Each structure stands twice: as structure tokens, then as C-alpha cells.
């Protein structure tokens, strides 16, 4: 730790190969933060190995490595350090790459100073909350204990989270309501893996599109949106250190954990006080139409309708936008794959509706869903 470090201030590392922008950032940030700087990936990694750093502003163009490669390395080795991409070489692709590899934010040069400071402060506020959640999950096995232990641990999680600064980000959560719990639940997903939060948001979007076409009642529609968003929250018990960003994959040693997550997630939201319908979606989202799914091997219409919708939505997202897939599929290819799995994995009637709805909404799907489609059309 450098001798002039003010322990009351967060530490920001500015990584930029050009002296001008690097010095400008140092001058702007110094009144608020301890500031260090590096002109190359190698110098940055050296600083990170010697001093704790809360946040990095990262230029994409470096002399010894591409910024995106460095971002991946930092997120794997220093998962608690947040990264904001600052670049003059912005494009939709680089923004998506940054998000895919775990950047907390993205700022184009020339940047507005107020925007920069606001983004850094927001990111540091989020880091405080995520750090609290990560520590809590690592040290509180009671969350998965008996009914009484879990309920007690959940209360401790809520009050610790409020103290970690959640209340400064907006109106106080209305405890006891689904919407009031959303910031905490969303942060639990993000603390586990930022990609898990992005995946959850997209799955909720697709499931809601289908729910609208089925004319579900408003309570059922709300449960579907929430249940889809929280379908993988049981992976939170696994902890971020097991699946650092960039390394998440379904290996054989992760199979038991994988098969556990519907049960764990259903248990967690039950203790959070969410509806039985939401808990049921989470529990059943890996059941298969032919009865070969898990955890209970339910079959056909024995699987709750809302869980059958989420099964389709999450598969479509894995096929089109899984950050770990070497080549995500185009929308058409993903829909073909899903169509071929009607009657085995999926409810055939819902599969037809899903394909119809996605085809109709092709032009308003999230950027990550259409990235492979755009890349494919450019090749042809």
C-alpha cells in the first residue's frame, strides 16, 4: 500500500497507454479517491498483485494486450475488483464484449466528468453491496439449513444488506412485497456471477412475451416474470469463487451442484416470502416434457405451465447468448434446435407459440440475443 494512501477513500486504478488521458483522469479522480495508474497490462497486473484495488478504469487499447483480454484476466483473478471500460473505440460489439466479460460499466471518450464520477460512485456502491452478499453466502450455511435456521439467516441477510448501502440507492425497499425484495434478489444474482444476472433478465423478458400471448391473469403474469428472473437463484449457494466469470461451464464435478439448484432456489425464495407459484417455477424449470428432467422427473402437463414457459425461455437464451459458448447460435438456428426438441424437452403447443412470438419480435430482442444473427448475416 503506497504511503500516501488515505484509508477512508476507495482506490481506483487508471489503465491507459496514453499519458494525456491517463493524467487527466488522475487529476479528475484524485480529490475523491486514492488513484494509481498503469500504462500497460503488465504494469496493471503488477499493481493488482501488490495492492487491493476497488475499481479500475480500463482503456481497451494497450501496448501489450487487448483490453478485453486483460478484463477477463482481472475478473478471474480479482473478482472483487470492479472494472469500467473507458474507450475511444466504442462499438456495440465492444460494449457487449465488456458486459459479457464482467465489466460494471462503459464510458466513451471524450467523457463527461460528472457522468464519470457518478458511474464510479454507483459502481462502488454496488461493490459494497455485492461484497457483503458474497461474504454472507460464504459464511452462512444456515441459509440452506432447517426451516428455522434459514428464516433467521434470511432476516440477517436483509438487515445486513440494508446496512451495506442498499437504502442509499433509492426508495427504501417495501419489505414483505415481491417488488421490495427485487433489488436484493437482483444483487444476489449479480454477486454470484454478473452473467447470471444478464441471463436472468433476458429469460424474464422472453417468458413475459409468452405470458402476454397466453392472456395470463395479472398475478400469474407477475409470478411468471419474477419466477423467470429468479429461476437460477439457487446457484447463489454455490458462491462466485466456484464459477469465476469466464470459467463457468458444466463440468462433471459441477453436476451435483447443478442438479441441486432448483431445490435450493425454491427454498431461498420461500424464506424470502415470495409466492408458492414463483417457488414452483424455480423448482420445475429443468423438468422435461418426456419426464427425463430433474429434480422430480415430472411429465407433460404435470409440470406447472409457468415452469414449462421458463424452460423454453432459458434454453433459447443459452443457445443465443451464453457467454461461455464458443459460437452462439443465430435466432433461426436456435429456434430450429428448440423445435427439434418439442415432445422431448418442451411442451409442443408452447414450443409453437414460442417460435411464433420470437419470430414476430425479432427486431426488438436484446442485443446479446441477436449478436450471432448479425455476425452470420455479415458473413453471407
Give the integer Cα–Cα distance in Å for 191 and 194: 7
Least CB distance to Fe ion at residue 289 (A): 16
Closest CB to Fe ion belongs to which residue? Answer: 232
Give the integer Cα–Cα distance in Å for 98 and 375: 17
Give the integer Cα–Cα distance in Å for 14 and 33: 11
Which triple of cell numbers denotes residue 49? 498483485
| Interaction pattern, residues 192-231, with Fe ion; x per rule: CB under 5 A | ----------------------------------------
- When the beta carbons of 82 and 232 are compared against Fe ion, the nearer one is 232
Least CB distance to Fe ion at residue 321 (A): 15
Least CB distance to Fe ion at residue 267 (A): 15
Interface positions, 32-61, toward Fe ion (CB under 5 A) = none
Strands 82-87 and 105-108: parallel
Question: Residue 266: CB partners within 8 Å, gap ≥ 6?
Answer: 234, 279, 280, 282, 283
Residue carrying the nine cell digits 454455490: 238
- When the beta carbons of 120 and 266 are compared against Fe ion, the nearer one is 266
- When the beta carbons of 178 and 232 are compared against Fe ion, the nearer one is 232
Q: What angle do CA 15, 21, 22 make, to 5 degrees?
A: 40
Which triple of cell numbers denotes residue 125? 456502491
**Considering only CA atoms, which of 352, 350, 259 is closest in space to residue 301?**
350
- When the beta carbons of 97 and 232 are compared against Fe ion, the nearer one is 232
Residue 232 binds to Fe ion (criterion: CB under 5 A): yes
- When the beta carbons of 193 and 232 are compared against Fe ion, the nearer one is 232
Least CB distance to Fe ion at residue 319 (A): 14
- When the beta carbons of 59 and 232 are compared against Fe ion, the nearer one is 232
- When the beta carbons of 95 and 257 are compared against Fe ion, the nearer one is 257
Least CB distance to Fe ion at residue 243 (A): 13
Least CB distance to Fe ion at residue 19 (A): 48
Least CB distance to Fe ion at residue 307 (A): 11
Give the integer Cα–Cα distance in Å for 354 and 368: 18
**Considering only CA atoms, which of 93, 92, 58 is closest in space to residue 75?**
58
Least CB distance to Fe ion at residue 261 (A): 6
Interface positions, 78-117, toward Fe ion (CB under 5 A) = none
Sign, CA dihedral 157-160-165-166, equals positive
- When the beta carbons of 35 and 319 are compared against Fe ion, the nearer one is 319
* Distances 273 to 154, 156, 176, 226, 266 between C-alpha atoms, Å: 10, 14, 7, 13, 11
Give the integer Cα–Cα distance in Å for 221 and 216: 6
Residues in touch with Fe ion (CB under 5 A): 232
Amino acid at each position: 500500500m503506497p504511503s500516501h494512501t488515505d484509508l477512508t477513500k476507495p482506490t481506483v486504478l487508471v489503465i491507459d497507454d496514453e499519458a494525456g488521458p491517463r493524467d487527466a483522469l488522475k487529476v479528475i479522480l484524485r480529490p475523491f479517491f486514492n488513484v494509481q495508474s498503469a500504462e500497460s497490462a503488465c504494469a496493471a497486473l503488477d499493481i493488482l498483485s501488490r495492492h487491493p484495488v476497488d475499481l479500475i478504469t480500463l482503456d481497451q487499447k494497450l501496448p501489450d494486450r487487448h483490453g478485453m483480454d486483460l478484463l477477463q484476466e482481472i475478473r478471474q483473478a480479482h473478482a472483487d475488483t470492479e472494472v469500467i471500460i473507458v474507450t475511444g473505440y466504442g462499438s456495440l460489439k465492444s460494449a457487449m464484449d465488456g458486459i459479457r466479460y464482467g465489466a460494471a460499466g462503459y464510458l466513451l471518450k471524450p467523457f463527461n466528468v460528472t457522468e464519470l464520477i457518478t458511474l464510479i460512485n454507483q459502481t462502488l456502491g454496488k461493490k459494497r453491496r455485492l461484497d457483503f452478499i458474497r461474504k454472507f453466502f460464504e459464511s452462512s450455511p444456515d441459509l440452506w439449513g432447517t426451516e428455522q435456521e434459514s428464516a433467521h439467516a434470511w432476516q440477517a441477510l436483509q438487515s445486513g444488506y440494508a446496512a451495506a448501502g442498499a437504502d442509499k440507492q433509492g426508495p427504501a425497499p417495501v419489505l414483505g412485497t415481491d417488488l421490495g425484495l427485487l433489488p436484493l434478489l437482483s444483487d444476489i444474482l449479480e454477486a454470484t456471477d454478473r452473467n447470471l444476472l444478464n441471463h436472468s433478465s433476458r429469460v424474464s423478458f422472453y417468458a413475459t412475451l409468452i405470458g402476454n400471448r397466453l392472456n395470463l391473469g395479472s398475478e400469474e403474469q407477475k409470478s411468471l416474470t419474477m419466477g423467470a428472473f429468479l429461476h437460477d437463484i439457487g446457484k447463489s449457494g454455490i458462491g462466485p469463487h466456484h464459477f469465476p466469470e469466464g470459467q463457468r461451464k458444466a463440468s462433471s464435478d459441477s453436476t451435483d451442484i447443478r442438479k441441486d439448484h432448483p431445490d435450493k432456489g425454491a427454498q431461498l425464495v420461500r424464506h424470502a416470502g415470495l409466492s408458492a407459484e414463483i417457488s414452483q417455477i424455480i423448482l420445475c424449470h429443468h423438468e422435461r416434457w418426456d419426464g427425463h428432467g430433474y429434480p422430480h422427473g415430472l411429465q407433460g402437463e404435470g409440470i406447472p405451465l409457468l415452469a414449462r414457459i421458463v424452460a423454453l425461455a432459458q434454453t433459447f437464451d443459452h443457445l443465443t447468448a451464453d457467454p461461455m459458448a464458443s459460437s452462439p447460435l443465430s435466432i433461426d438456428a436456435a429456434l430450429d434446435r428448440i423445435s427439434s426438441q418439442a415432445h422431448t424437452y418442451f411442451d409442443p403447443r408452447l414450443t409453437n407459440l414460442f417460435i411464433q412470438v420470437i419470430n414476430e419480435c425479432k427486431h426488438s430482442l436484446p442485443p446479446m440475443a441477436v449478436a450471432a444473427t448479425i455476425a452470420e448475416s455479415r458473413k453471407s
